[in-house]
Structure 1
């Protein structure tokens, strides 16, 4: 079967089977343990992310309700499903925090979401529009973000090959570029394994320079960088 389909296609089917098994275990309690399913190795793909300039162009082309959803996603790194289903009961504006319940998280673990000033501003703009849901459209809850309006906005912005999930990649890439440690990025993103976070490690390498410079302090402090030249008297 592996010869008939690509590894990515086979993995999509296996992921569905794994999701059903997880539901059978955690929700239906039909089994005590989720069998481990190994996926086929897939070729590594380039992480797709946008520059701030591209995001600015995209926001101008989006309808107002989607603008705030995109800004919130870029400020928190939350997945599409966690953004569109976010409820006010999951938000604490005073503590500047939100949370994703284990049954809403891909790794089945609760995620603490610190709310920065940009995310808070979005929430304040949405406050009072709906009794339970944070993000709505014309007073109704939103079920899907990958709409025609989203796709048209991408097209008008000249942005190709970009999915809503790539907003999460953009958030992680920006954090890595700003020097966020990989372990912090993993916790903020709610990733289960370090391997998922390593996709962004190459973006943080320029930040390693400040740590590499620590060695130069040793040279400067001990004058190792400029050793005195030993006088050598040659016999004439």
Structure 2
């Protein structure tokens, strides 16, 4: 004979977090970045806003993974959050930035002035720059969302954006579609 539940078990219900997608215009981003005085930090933020790369992908990028002739780099699967290799495309601004970094002759793309690898971004420095620029609170990770917003507003297909950004669930890219309707 089967044993039936006498009482239903208590199950917790979870609501999806209400996420505020922050974005800046390209001009506002330049103003924000102009308030980051430490050179390596400024370059890391410029790189993030131009490529949409995650902080761990940026800080673990080595110069041998950068192909300036093809204007790209491969973020290998051991460093990518989703466990898959991600191609990173570069614009001219990033190529100039990487040439400056190459001149320092270090293994890592982003190091401190003394050549030591950067392990984390300066959250207080970003917070200070946000205040000086007169913007609403912003985190380093928001630079990735801002990059994605610019792509969506330029009508980059969402499936292509998913691949460029290395997002696994497509639902995040679908949430960006609101910006397509806004323009």
Same fold (TM over 0.5): yes
* Pick aligned residue for 2:164 from 158, 172, 188: 188
Superimposed CA distance per residue, residues 79-137 of structure 1 (whole angstroms, 9 cap, x where no aligned partner): 01111121112111112110111111111100011112121111112112142110111
- Between 1 and 2, higher relative CO (CA 8 Å, sep ≥ 6) is seen in 2
Superimposed CA distance per residue, residues 3-28 of structure 1 (whole angstroms, 9 cap, x where no aligned partner): 7xxx8xxxxxxxxxxxxxxxxxxxxx
User: Larger Cα Rg: Structure 1 or Structure 2?
Assistant: 1
Q: Which residue of 1 aligns with 2:125?
A: 149
Q: In 2, are the aligned partners of 1:84 and 1:135 still within 8 Å (CA)? A: yes
- Mind listing any 5+ residue stretches in structure 1 that lack a counterpart? 8-39, 208-236
Q: In 2, are the aligned partners of 1:130 and 1:136 still within 8 Å (CA)? A: no
1:118 is aligned to 2:99 = no
CA drift of 1:146 comes to 3.1
Q: In 1, are the aligned partners of 2:50 and 2:147 still within 8 Å (CA)? A: yes
* Pick aligned residue for 1:91 from 66, 70, 78: 66
1:177 is aligned to 2:153 = yes
Q: In 2, are the aligned partners of 1:47 and 1:199 still within 8 Å (CA)? A: no
Aligned residues: 172
Which deviates further from its counterpart, 124-133 or 94-103?
124-133
Q: In 1, are the aligned partners of 2:123 and 2:140 still within 8 Å (CA)? A: no
Q: Distance in 2 between matches of 1:99 and 1:163?
A: 25
Q: Which residue of 2 aligns with 1:52?
A: 26
* Pick aligned residue for 1:201 from 177, 180, 183: 177
Q: In 2, are the aligned partners of 1:101 and 1:110 still within 8 Å (CA)? A: yes
Q: In 1, are the aligned partners of 2:126 and 2:139 still within 8 Å (CA)? A: no
1:42 is aligned to 2:16 = yes
Partner-residue secondary structure (3-state), 1:168: helix
- Mind listing any 5+ residue stretches in structure 2 that lack a counterpart? 1-9
RMSD between aligned alpha carbons? 2.0
- Scaled by the length of structure 1, the TM-score of the pair is 0.67
Q: Distance in 2 between matches of 1:110 and 1:189?
A: 11
Q: Which has the higher helix share?
A: 1
Q: Distance in 2 between matches of 1:206 and 1:146?
A: 33
